[in-house]
Amino acid sequence: MKRLLLFILPILIIVAVVFTVSGIMQARFTEDKLMDDLQRKAKAVNESLEVSARYILINNDLRSAKRLVEGFQRRERLQGCAIYDKEGNIFAITQKFAGWKDKDKPYLKDILAKRVPRGGLENFQEYSVYSYIIPVTDDENNVLGMVEVIYDTSYVFTTLAALWKKLSVSLIILLILILLTMLLIQRQIFTLPVRRLTQWFTHFQKGETEKLKPFEEKGEFGKLISEVEQVALGLRVARKAVTEEAHVRIKEELWTEDKLRDLIHAKLGENAFFVVSNREPYMHVMGDITGTPKCIRPASGVVTAIDPILRACGGTWVGHGSGNADRKFVNSKNKLGVPPGDNRYILKRVWLTKEEEDGYYYGFANEGLWPLCHMTHTRPIFRGSDWQMYKKVNQKFADSILEELPAKNPFIFIQDYHFTLLPNMIKEKRPDATIALFWHIPWPNPEVFAICPYYHEILDGMLGCDLIGFHVQFNCNNFLDTANRLTECRVDTEKFSVVKQDRETFIRAFPISVGGPLSAGPTSLEISEIAKIKEEFKLKDKIVCVSVERIDYTKGIVERIMAIDRFLEKYPQYQGKLVFIQLAAPSRTHIKRYHELISEIDELVEKTNWKYSDGDWKPIIYLKRYFSPEEIKPYYSIGDLCIVSSLHDGMNLVAKEYVVSNTVSGGALILSKFTGAARELTDAVLINPYSIEEFAEAIKFTIEMPKAEKIKRMENMRRVVSENNIYKWAGNIITELVALKKS
């Protein structure tokens, strides 16, 4: 619209200026002509008045003079007329103009002296009048006096005003006509072809091949469209070729990025793949010191797991644009290619207001559902206002996804407890969509879940899915029990599915994992990083223990520090020898419970360090900030042992990351038995983090474990993780989905 105005406005201005100038000229001309006419008429009338006035002035006949001026004025439709004597005094004047006498008329003397007529505009009372005076002489050319006729000029101005009105109306009509013509031309030669081209692309994007009609555009625009058509056609052919090739290449071997890509192309073909999560995989934030934006990968298990999948197979990830510089990097459709510099897939950012984020994310999802599903004795809070926001945001995401979906059979993979209502919202509008939801956190038993006042709507929303995945079978069983007890449905325990109103949702366990297969070992850059960290924290000859997480009450950080304290207290021979490094990213800091936890950990670290520190040794190095995956990796390599002491955890990816990354130090893993990972990593030293005594003993046991046993246990765990890596996880979900759709 702005561009259109830029184009049309100058034309309208030029036309208006030209029209106004010519209008002014026309008005001037009309005015001159009217005044000329008036003068000519006044002259003629005056001359006939002069003849009668001559005898009256010779005879000094005042009565005749009065009769003459009144009679003349009526006859000639003048405003008035007057007869002057030879001194320039009024001898007789039309009654109406009696006041004319008092008007100062310096030019009268001049007319008498020079004997020349005079005509001109005069102001009298509220009128503008035209006065024409001629001298009256006798036969010897002696001046007898003067006669004057006075005309009203208001009709001249009325005529001019009418002319201006006519001109203005014509100008407005002309401008409107020009505007309409321009809009029509613009629509014909630009808007319609561009609209046709956009529609064509939308059909192409959505795979609606039957609607792809050839273009008939001619000229330069036609050539451009024809080129675009060729590129699009090439793309379609390429997509098909990749799909067919993929069918041929799938073999039973260790799962890799390539194998997953092949599987997705073979199973999904040209059907588009969408991922939805609250957390976006790449976030643009303003650098603290430099003030220039930088791109970071948030500290989130969901991101760690799903990003490699989309990197492998492309698609669209829809997430909340939560970075403070996010808006700077999206196009007009709120999209960008990621990872930055190596665009493998599309990220679509959804914007939330502070109120929406507060109610939906901090409130309902993280103060309600998160503590409800984690049995860590933090009381869930369910506020009605948060629930309203949660519903609103789910609808907002549903709308954002729906406008992206292609015409046929899209695959939508929803992540986590933030979007329980989304499956149904999408399914209602697009029954052809295949929808899976992966629940990354534990699922409690029906008694616990029924605490949530909105359990009915939540279960309804989730049962819009074709498939719901959990990390472990125990969570699947809990979900089936919950559906059975809390909603009207039929649970099929043979097929592990829930049937509600003719729709069947399958419930399956898919233990999530990390990328793989294993790398050969640390790169030279990592080796130099490891050396730097050892130097900085004086780790030479020390037993290094590492832990990595978001600061969350489910992760058992407090219990861990208490266990370190107890271990050093009970086994003082390790004082000065053990260094515990905790990497901790603050998270959900707006929530009071998290805020309190941060202070609690700060205090505990301070107290424990104060209790044991000796010279330049202190037992705990607490690094409270976000670390990029590249920064975390050297810490995994340095760790002689890694402690994961979650009080309750769906899976826990840190345990798996440590196992695949620690390839040099022959490390060991202490793992809480309340994590999903404990079911697979049975070679870890399993602990109950609530029992500080047992925990402290486990630290001693692990440190003193024979090296050969450590190596054996780590190798076993590494094999488990590399055989069940994230590509296999995604591959299994997609295979299951496609199989379920066919059955």
319 forms part of the interface with ligand ADQ (CB under 6 A): no
Residues 490-549 that bind ligand ADQ (CB under 6 A): 512, 548-549
Which residue stretch of 203-211, 294-302, 447-455, 461-469 sits at the interface with ligand ADQ (rule: CB under 6 A)?
294-302
Please report which residue ranges of 322-442 form alpha helices under DSSP H. Answer: 354-356, 370-373, 384-402, 422-429
Smallest CA-to-CA distance from 648 within 546, 552, 551, 581 is with 552
Contact 460, 394 (CB under 8 A): no
Q: Are strands 316-320 and 273-279 parallel, antiparallel or unpaired?
A: parallel
178 token code pair: 């020009």
Distance CA 694, CA 557 (A): 16
Distances (CA, A) of 121 to 41, 154, 628: 15, 11, 91
Question: Using CB under 6 A, which of 584, 717, 726, 738 touches ligand ADQ?
Answer: 584
Question: Using CB under 6 A, which of 52, 131, 278, 300 touches ligand ADQ?
Answer: 300
Q: Which is nearer to ligand ADQ, 678 or 698 (CB)?
A: 678
β-pair partners for 670: 643, 685
Dihedral sign from CA coordinates of 401, 406, 407, 409: negative
Question: Using CB under 6 A, which of 82, 156, 302, 669 touches ligand ADQ?
Answer: 302
CB of 627 to ligand ADQ, least distance (A): 4
Question: Using CB under 6 A, which of 272, 653, 668, 714 touches ligand ADQ?
Answer: 653
441 forms part of the interface with ligand ADQ (CB under 6 A): yes
Q: Which is nearer to ligand ADQ, 654 or 678 (CB)?
A: 654
Contact 544, 666 (CB under 8 A): no
Residues 49-78 that bind ligand ADQ (CB under 6 A): none
Distance CA 577, CA 555 (A): 25
CB of 724 to ligand ADQ, least distance (A): 13
Distance CA 472, CA 439 (A): 10
3-state secondary structure 206-266: HCCHHHCCCCCCCHHHHHHHHHHHHHHHHHHHHHHHHHHHHHHHCCCCCCCHHHHHHHHHH
Burial of 35 by CB count in 10 Å (0-12 exposed, 13-18 middle, 19+ buried)? middle
513: left (phi over 0), alpha (psi -120 to 50) or beta: beta
CB of 622 to ligand ADQ, least distance (A): 11
307 forms part of the interface with ligand ADQ (CB under 6 A): no
550 forms part of the interface with ligand ADQ (CB under 6 A): yes
601 forms part of the interface with ligand ADQ (CB under 6 A): no
CB of 369 to ligand ADQ, least distance (A): 12
CB of 328 to ligand ADQ, least distance (A): 23
305 forms part of the interface with ligand ADQ (CB under 6 A): yes
Q: Which is nearer to ligand ADQ, 546 or 740 (CB)?
A: 546
CB of 625 to ligand ADQ, least distance (A): 7
440 forms part of the interface with ligand ADQ (CB under 6 A): yes
Which residue stretch of 235-243, 381-389, 583-591, 724-732 sits at the interface with ligand ADQ (rule: CB under 6 A)?
583-591
Question: Using CB under 6 A, which of 322, 478, 497, 652 touches ligand ADQ?
Answer: 652
583 forms part of the interface with ligand ADQ (CB under 6 A): yes
Helix (H) or strand (E) holding 114: helix 107-114
CB of 206 to ligand ADQ, least distance (A): 31
CB of 521 to ligand ADQ, least distance (A): 19
Write the CB contacts of 280 (distance below 8 Å, at least 6 apart in sequence): 298, 303, 317, 319, 320, 321, 322, 323, 326, 347, 349
Helix (H) or strand (E) holding 684: none
301 forms part of the interface with ligand ADQ (CB under 6 A): yes
**DSSP letters along 565-631, please?**
HHHHHH-GGGTTTEEEEEEEE--STTSHHHHHHHHHHHHHHHHHHHHH-BTTB-SEEEE-S---HHH
Question: Using CB under 6 A, which of 654, 678, 699, 740 touches ligand ADQ?
Answer: 654
627 forms part of the interface with ligand ADQ (CB under 6 A): yes
Q: Specify the 3-state DSSP secondary structure of 147.
A: strand
Q: Specify the 3-state DSSP secondary structure of 126.
A: coil
Dihedral sign from CA coordinates of 599, 604, 605, 607: positive
Which residue stretch of 151-159, 193-201, 297-305, 428-436 sits at the interface with ligand ADQ (rule: CB under 6 A)?
297-305
Distance CA 642, CA 59 (A): 139
CB of 192 to ligand ADQ, least distance (A): 49
280 forms part of the interface with ligand ADQ (CB under 6 A): no
386 forms part of the interface with ligand ADQ (CB under 6 A): no
CB of 403 to ligand ADQ, least distance (A): 28
Distances (CA, A) of 232 to 195, 208, 217, 240, 482: 17, 13, 17, 13, 49
Closest residue by beta carbon to ligand ADQ: 301
Q: Which is nearer to ligand ADQ, 259 or 471 (CB)?
A: 471
* 3-state percent helix, strand, coil for the chain, nearest multiple of 5: 55, 20, 30
Distances (CA, A) of 723 to 34, 252, 423, 686: 105, 12, 31, 21
Which residue stretch of 51-59, 301-309, 332-340, 709-717 sits at the interface with ligand ADQ (rule: CB under 6 A)?
301-309
Q: Specify the 3-state DSSP secondary structure of 490.
A: strand
Distance CA 482, CA 450 (A): 8
Question: Using CB under 6 A, which of 111, 412, 585, 714 touches ligand ADQ?
Answer: 585
Distance CA 331, CA 49 (A): 87
CB of 562 to ligand ADQ, least distance (A): 20
CB of 241 to ligand ADQ, least distance (A): 35
650 forms part of the interface with ligand ADQ (CB under 6 A): yes
CB of 726 to ligand ADQ, least distance (A): 10
Q: Which is nearer to ligand ADQ, 463 or 584 (CB)?
A: 584
Please report which residue ranges of 319-472 form alpha helices under DSSP H. Answer: 354-356, 370-373, 384-402, 422-429, 446-449, 455-462
To which residue do tokens 């990595």 refer? 548
Q: Which is nearer to ligand ADQ, 295 or 407 (CB)?
A: 295
Question: Using CB under 6 A, which of 129, 651, 726, 738 touches ligand ADQ?
Answer: 651
657 forms part of the interface with ligand ADQ (CB under 6 A): yes
Q: Which is nearer to ligand ADQ, 82 or 654 (CB)?
A: 654
CB of 395 to ligand ADQ, least distance (A): 24
Distance CA 528, CA 505 (A): 51
Contact 47, 137 (CB under 8 A): no
626 forms part of the interface with ligand ADQ (CB under 6 A): yes
Which residue stretch of 360-368, 651-659, 664-672, 730-738 sits at the interface with ligand ADQ (rule: CB under 6 A)?
651-659
CB of 179 to ligand ADQ, least distance (A): 58
Q: Which is nearer to ligand ADQ, 151 or 443 (CB)?
A: 443
CB of 502 to ligand ADQ, least distance (A): 31
Distance CA 438, CA 676 (A): 14
372 forms part of the interface with ligand ADQ (CB under 6 A): no
299 forms part of the interface with ligand ADQ (CB under 6 A): yes
Dihedral sign from CA coordinates of 547, 549, 553, 555: negative
Residue 223 backbone phi and psi in degrees, to 5: -65, -45
Which residue stretch of 4-12, 161-169, 222-230, 582-590 sits at the interface with ligand ADQ (rule: CB under 6 A)?
582-590
Total of chain residues touching ligand ADQ, rule CB under 6 A = 25
647 forms part of the interface with ligand ADQ (CB under 6 A): no
Given the rule CB under 6 A, which residues bind ligand ADQ? Answer: 299-302, 304-305, 440-441, 512, 548-550, 583-585, 626-627, 632, 649-654, 657
